[in-house]
Amino acid sequence: MDEHDELEFDDFQEEEEEKETSEAKPANHYVDNKEFYQAMIEWKKEVLDARDSGEPDPPVTDYIGKCFLDIATHLSYRPNFINYPYREEMIGDGIENCLMYCSNFDPDKSKNPFSYFTQIIYFAFLRRIQKEKKQVYIKYKLIDSADIYGNINKELLDNDTVAEDSNNPLADHLSLSKADIEKFTPKKRGRKPKKKKGPLEELGD
């Protein structure tokens, strides 16, 4: 993830923490962080006991699983995520990542599991978006390569499917930005210039 993603998450995190500590509606918050933290303490103790006995980690409790679901669902309704057609897949990825890494949460180092798992879900969403966009880019390249006469672009413009001043109707129709196309387009590797031999090397030839 780039620096912009990190800054965007920091902004989101501050906003959520302000909501959580607000006295206006603490009881109505969709995840009670104190209760969530206590549940994680109890579950982590079970994990450590199981490992000491050589047994597999116990599954998370229904309450912890519900917290993962609530956080992922709530996050998916934010403006930067809500319009993606694969929002359900994003939620699924977020929950899966929480289940994969939940044992890494250390109650002795953090008392904020809400923030910890929100971050895991946030970056799971970004990975899903990039994965889906790459598939759309492949689709775009296949169609664009086959459309040698530009008929598809013309049809998209004629049918008002995209803005009439569009520079790339097919890309706009597939919701691919110029930045997306540049990102997924393979970089051409230029040939390295031949290293000039020194006088001693030339004598040795």
Do 58 and 114 share a domain, yes or no? yes
CA angle at 93 for the pair 119 and 103, rounded to the nearest 5°: 60
Q: Would 84 be classed as within a structural domain? A: yes
In 3D space, the residue among 104, 86, 75 whose CA is nearest the CA of residue 8 turns out to be 75
**What is the rounded CA–CA span in Å between residue 132 and residue 134?**
5
Into how many domains does the chain fold? 2
**What is the rounded CA–CA span in Å between residue 53 and residue 116?**
28
Give the count of beta carbons closer than 10 Å to the beta carbon of residue 29. 16
Q: Would 205 be classed as within a structural domain? A: no
Do 27 and 80 share a domain, yes or no? yes
Q: Would 54 be classed as within a structural domain? A: yes
* Helical packing angle, 87-101 and 62-76, nearest 10°: 140
Do 102 and 160 share a domain, yes or no? no
Do 73 and 39 share a domain, yes or no? yes
Do 37 and 127 share a domain, yes or no? yes
Q: Would 163 be classed as within a structural domain? A: yes
Do 33 and 69 share a domain, yes or no? yes
CA angle at 41 for the pair 27 and 11, rounded to the nearest 5°: 55
Residue-number span of the structural domain to which 163 is assigned: 147-185
Do 11 and 107 share a domain, yes or no? yes
Do 163 and 126 share a domain, yes or no? no
* Percent of the chain residues past pLDDT 90, beyond the cut: 66
pLDDT of 29 reads 75
pLDDT tens figures, 71-86: 999 999 999 999 999 9
Do 76 and 161 share a domain, yes or no? no
Query: What is the torsional sign of CA 151, 154, 158, 162?
Result: positive
pLDDT tens figures, 87-142: 999 999 999 999 999 999 999 999 999 999 999 999 999 999 999 999 999 999 99
CB burial of residue 23 (10 Å; 0-12, 13-18, 19+): exposed
Give the 3-state secondary structure of residue 142: helix
| pTM over cut 0.85 | no
